[in-house]
Each structure stands twice: as structure tokens, then as C-alpha cells.
Amino acid sequence: MKVSVIGLGYVGLPLACAIALKTNHTVVGYDKNKNKIELIKQKKCPIDDVQCAKDLENVNFEISDNVNIIDNSDIYIVCVPTPVLNDYTPDLRPIRNATEDITKFIKKGQTVIIESTINPGVCEEVVVPIIESKTGLRSAVDFDVVHCPERINPGDKYWNVYNIPRNLGATSPEATKKMANFYRSFINAEINEMPNLKTAEATKIIENTFRDINIAFVNELAKSFDVLGIDLMAVIRGASNKPFAFMPHYPSCGVGGHCIPIDPYYLIERAKLSGFDHKFLKLAREINNSMPEYTINLLSEALNNYEKPIKKTTIGLLGLSYKGNVGDLRESPSIKLKNILIEKGADLLIYDPFFPEMSNVNSLDEILNKSYAILIATDHDIFKNITGEILKKNNINIVIDGKNCLNKIDILNSGIYYKGIGT
């Protein structure tokens, strides 16, 4: 078969490589980003994915920024972003655009697979109507739509496109079976055939919403235990040795990334259209969105002990990325922290080794040497080696550890003010 992958990002590129390497199907890749196409043609992997970088060396499939390359495919796989707008409502433009592209080429007997994370209803209420209205073809009769939600974990050294189990739903049982077998031809993990599209769409959404509410749970505990004088990290360590029915999550200066803080809104907004108000999910989002501000308040309280305002004090912001050891700014709490500190008139120094162009110092040593207080906003490994001794040598007075990733006791024993989130 001819398989077209639309969107060659952290989901589409590994997928295209896997199909090209593991099957005899003809694979083509389309992405509207010319630079990305050029990079991939030079075998330079534009994403942080060890397996994909390796695969890229060994594959040869056609890619282009010209959409005509997807013409006459048996299977079209959509791997485009599904962000939210400023008011947190779903931004389905990339999905709509990809579907419009497909309508120019789709013929009877062909299949559209959506891998992007979407809320229950998008396939039947957005994708199918666009194709039917533009082509006159009928879904489940002339063409099928399948949803197989992506599960790539950016930066993960073990889990990759080949070994992560997948769930799949479709417009017809025949398509479910056929496409599940297609995925089984290159994935060495369970491919779970689901009853319909909505169950498949709901599955991915609740996986990430589950994570968001559990992080909100410990973030609220952090605020409560800060006033109760209880070390939440010690409590979580204690609860974690329960051999069953407990799953640790950790408080922090905020929840970033393109999945966890976004996916809940897809469900919240769609349920609202049908008259259900997800109070709990919305509260969890409010709590997680409040953590950057809470973190700055901790810094203000710390500075008060030294009778210093944030204004005109040299504050070192360590980390811009939303997640340790990757370079990704999407929904990053660090950006919110940076904006609040600028608004409050801090003499702000910024360092993230993954974003030299956005840093205003050239090294970790430099930011430590020049700062009065530091705020850890990303748990990059390079920051975890900051000891009390290093801080003392650099005359750092205050450490606010937004990712609870430093050694609290060691820093306190060096006579330096340390405050983490809930610890």
C-alpha cells in the first residue's frame, strides 16, 4: 500500500521511519515546514528521539513540503499538532487543514488515520463531515476514518514507536481490524481494538487528564503543607513505599508541555457543548496554572527575610524548558515565571543550556556568580549538581527550587535559605 504521513514532527517522523523500515509499504512524508523537510533530507533528526535519529540513517522514503506527494494513498496518517487558543478552547485548525488537504486526493476504498490527540467527537463531527461534504464519498462505505492516538513520550530513552501499546477505533469494525493489523505489522506491542472512534479519542484524553489532576492534587497539598510546616516531599516518599494503590506525583512551579496542560481542555470544552461541566478538571487546571505565581510568592517571602524586594534584585532564573533535559518551551511555566519577574522589576538573569539564544548569560557559573537569589524552573541534569558549597562560593543567599530537584539538606547545612514547592 501507499502510506502518507502528514506532519513530520515528534509523532509523524518516527512513525514514517518505522513503517518504512518494518513493512514493504511505500511511505511518503509531507510537512509544510520547508526547513524541516530539508533537515530530514540531510538525515538530520529535527526531534529529540534517539530511536528515530537511528532509523533516519537507514531509511529512504520520499518527503516533501508539496502536498501533492500524498496523492493516491491507501492510508493517510495525520500527525499534526492539536493546541489550544488563548482562551483554552481547542484549536483544530491543523486537523481541519490536514483533512482539507486529504479531500483533494482521497478516493473510494482509502483510509484516514488521525494520530493527533483529539477530544471525543472530533473524528465524527469534524473530520468525516469535511471529507463527505467535499468529495461526496460516504464514511464507513467509501472511506474509513480511524483514530489511533499517539503516545510518543518526548525525550524518553526506552519507550518508542515500536514498543508502546496502542489503542485504535474506527468508523467500521472491518476498518478497525484491518488497521489494527496494519499497526501490528510494525509495532511489537499490544494493538487494542476499541468499539468505536469516541472510545479511542476518550482514552488518550483521560490518560493525560489523569496526570494533570494528580499533579494538581500534590500542588494543592504543597500549598497546604507549606502553611502546616509539613515536608510534602518526605510525605510522598513515605506514601510511595506502599506496594499497591499509590502512584507518586510531584509538586512543582507548574505544568508545561503540549500534552498535560492542554488535553484536559479538549474534554472540558466538548463536554460543555453537551451540557456537562467538568468542575473537577477545571479546578485541577486552575491549581496547576496558579503554581508559577505561588512560586514567585515564595521568592518574595524569602527576600523579605533579607529585607530585599524583587525589584532591582538580581534573580537568576535557571531553566526555560517545560521538562528536564529537553529543549521545549510549549506551555512552559518558566515563561510565566520570567514574565512575572520582569513585571516586578527584577534584575533578571536567565540561563537554559538548551536555549542559549534566550539566555542572557553564557554559563551556569556566570549566572551563579552574578545572582543574589536563584530560582530553579527546569530540572535539567546540569542543575542537579548545584551543591551548598557551590552556592556558598558564589554568595547565593536564596534558592527557590521550583522542581524540588536540589539537595535541600546540603543547601540548608551551608547556611543558605532553601525553599522548594511543598518542601
Residues with catalytic roles: 204, 259
User: Distance of CA 350 to CAs 144, 364, 402, Å?
Assistant: 50, 10, 15
Identify the residue among 29, 154, 292, 316 touching ligand SAJ (CB under 6 A). 154
Answer yes or no whether residue 166 interacts with ligand SAJ by CB under 6 A: no
In whole angstroms, the minimum distance from the beta carbon of 331 to ligand SAJ comes to 8
User: Distance of CA 109 to CAs 74, 130, 145, 324, 422, Å?
Assistant: 8, 17, 11, 45, 56
What is the secondary structure of 250-319 as a DSSP string?
---S---SSSTTTHHHHHHHHHHHTT---HHHHHHHHHHHTHHHHHHHHHHHHHHHTT--STT-EEEEE-
Stretch that binds ligand SAJ, among 19-27, 92-100, 119-127, 151-159 (CB under 6 A): 151-159
Name which of 215 and 341 has its Cβ closer to ligand SAJ: 215
Residue nearest to ligand SAJ (CB): 257
Which residues touch 335 (CB under 8 Å, ≥6 apart)? 320, 329
Q: Which burial class, exposed, middle or buried, applies to 186 when counting CB atoms under 10 A from its CB (0-12, 13-18, 19+)?
A: middle
- Helix, coil or strand: residue 344: coil
What is the residue whose three cell numbers read 530513552? 157
Q: According to CB under 6 A, which residues from 283 to 342 bind ligand SAJ? A: 322-323
Answer yes or no whether residue 208 interacts with ligand SAJ by CB under 6 A: yes
In whole angstroms, the minimum distance from the beta carbon of 288 to ligand SAJ comes to 8
Identify the residue among 23, 33, 135, 153 touching ligand SAJ (CB under 6 A). 153
Name which of 131 and 152 has its Cβ closer to ligand SAJ: 152
In whole angstroms, the minimum distance from the beta carbon of 410 to ligand SAJ comes to 22
Identify the residue among 25, 32, 249, 384 touching ligand SAJ (CB under 6 A). 249
How many chain residues touch ligand SAJ (CB under 6 A)?
18
The mark string for 98-137 relative to ligand SAJ (x by CB under 6 A, - otherwise) is ----------------------------------------
Answer yes or no whether residue 259 interacts with ligand SAJ by CB under 6 A: yes
Answer yes or no whether residue 220 interacts with ligand SAJ by CB under 6 A: no
Answer yes or no whether residue 215 interacts with ligand SAJ by CB under 6 A: yes
Name which of 73 and 208 has its Cβ closer to ligand SAJ: 208
Answer yes or no whether residue 257 interacts with ligand SAJ by CB under 6 A: yes
Answer yes or no whether residue 151 interacts with ligand SAJ by CB under 6 A: yes
In whole angstroms, the minimum distance from the beta carbon of 79 to ligand SAJ comes to 12
3-class SS shares of the chain: helix, strand, coil, % to 5: 45, 15, 45
Q: How many CA atoms lie within 13 A of 305 on its CB side?
A: 13
* Helix or strand (DSSP H, E) at 58: helix 50-58
Identify the residue among 70, 152, 310, 335 touching ligand SAJ (CB under 6 A). 152
Identify the residue among 250, 266, 351, 354 touching ligand SAJ (CB under 6 A). 250
Q: What does the buried/exposed string (b/e) look like for 267-290 if buried means 16 or more CB atoms within 10 Å of the residue's CB?
A: bbbbbeeeeeebeebeebbebbbe
Answer yes or no whether residue 416 interacts with ligand SAJ by CB under 6 A: no
Q: What does the buried/exposed string (b/e) look like for 385-399 if buried means 16 or more CB atoms within 10 Å of the residue's CB?
A: ebebeebeebebbbb
Task: Phi first, then psi: give them for residue 398, nearest 5 degrees.
Answer: -135, 135
User: Binding residues for ligand SAJ, per CB under 6 A?
Assistant: 151-154, 207-208, 211, 215, 249-250, 252, 255-257, 259-260, 322-323
